[in-house]
Amino acid sequence: MHILIIGGAGMVGRRLAERLASETRLDGKPVETMTLVDVVPPEAPANFTGKALLETADLSAPGEAEALVATRPDIIFHLAAIVSGEAELDFEKGYRINLDGTRYLFEAIRKAHEEDGYTPRVVFASSIAVFGAPLPYPIPDEFHTTPLTSYGTQKAISELLLSDYSRKGYFDGIGIRLPTICIRPGKPNKAASGFFSNILREPLKGEEAVLPVGDDVRHWHTSPRSAVGFLLHAATIDLDTVGPRRNLSMPGVSATVGEQIEALRRVAGDKAVALIRREPDPMIMKMVAGWAPGFEAKRSRDLGFTSESSFDEIIKAHIEDEMGGTL
């Protein structure tokens, strides 16, 4: 089986490729070829026994989608996007990459389908940014998508396209709305949501972290490990059980910042918690106030998607996957 990962150099894309390499099979079938494509050069996953094809390309450039589809991958993971902040600052770039890029991909598949019946599985990484305040807690599965960012708008539009192309039979699509990923590995970054990870990851290493919002801020999280699990489950689930509503809010952990901190205390002690420095940032506080507090996610749970059930588990997943299992 040939698997294409668009956005294969990103944090989730890399982990997905590594997991596929280590499991060697998907849905019982051997993973013979993996194509990783991204705007920055992707790396081959470690210890992959199949063929890894690495490509540096921009999906929104002419001909790129057709070239990717020409190899007729069995499963296409579409994870490529420019992030929320950049899509907000550069309106044209956001629409070009996040909307046109997606549409070019879907159109290339449709044309291939009309040529020879090609009908791949397409797994699309959507986002809880398709929802915009005011939001209830928990957000029900049938709540409307009224994004308050261009990024969220582009994801919501891509979801609608995915459903329509799937309904017409051009491909077998499924969209999964990822929670905020926590603990995000790597260095602290400037994303407004970065602090959710920073206040755990840095103290776990004995380093200071800044908390720009109050302890009562509630948000929706899952681990990188669970995010990869969602993608793999979406790649193999029987879509007849999903029906025509192909975009699902994934399960996760709803927690306040205070609850995150108490989980850190239980796992790593008071010393770790003492490394969190409170520096309220009114701009970040205002942005975060509009974010999703949590979801019912009944449909996705009923369909077998699973996440951690507490923040203690999310922290332990990070220690196992990123810190060699010990503090």
x/- mask, its own copies, residues 257-296, rule CB under 8 A, reads ----------------------------------------
Decide: 88 and 151 in contact? Cβ < 8 Å. Answer: yes
Decide: 179 and 307 in contact? Cβ < 8 Å. Answer: yes
Which of 115, 142, 216, 270 is close enough to bind its own copies by CB under 8 A? 142
Decide: 149 and 199 in contact? Cβ < 8 Å. Answer: no
- Residue 224, classed as helix, strand or coil, is helix
Interface with its own copies (CB under 8 A), residue total 22
The answer to the question of residue 144 lying near its own copies (CB under 8 A) is: yes
The answer to the question of residue 132 lying near its own copies (CB under 8 A) is: yes
Distance, in Å, from the CA atom of 151 to the CA atom of 172, rounded to the nearest integer, reads 24
Specify the residue, 244 or 324, whose C-beta has the smaller distance to its own copies: 244
Q: Which residues are CB-neighbours of 301 under 8 A, at least 6 positions away? A: 251
First-to-last alpha carbon distance for the chain, in angstroms, is 39
Question: Per CB under 8 A, which of residues 148..177 are in contact with its own copies?
Answer: 148, 150, 153, 156-157, 160-161, 163-164, 167-168
Which of 33, 119, 146, 256 is close enough to bind its own copies by CB under 8 A? 146
Shortest reach from residue 149's CB to its own copies, in Å: 8
The answer to the question of residue 147 lying near its own copies (CB under 8 A) is: yes
- Give exposure, 150-162, as e/b (b: 16+ Cβ within 10 Å): bbbbbbbbbbebb
Distance, in Å, from the CA atom of 80 to the CA atom of 10, rounded to the nearest integer, reads 8
The answer to the question of residue 245 lying near its own copies (CB under 8 A) is: yes
Shortest reach from residue 145's CB to its own copies, in Å: 6
Looking at residue 313, its amino acid is: E
The answer to the question of residue 91 lying near its own copies (CB under 8 A) is: yes
Residues forming the active site: 151
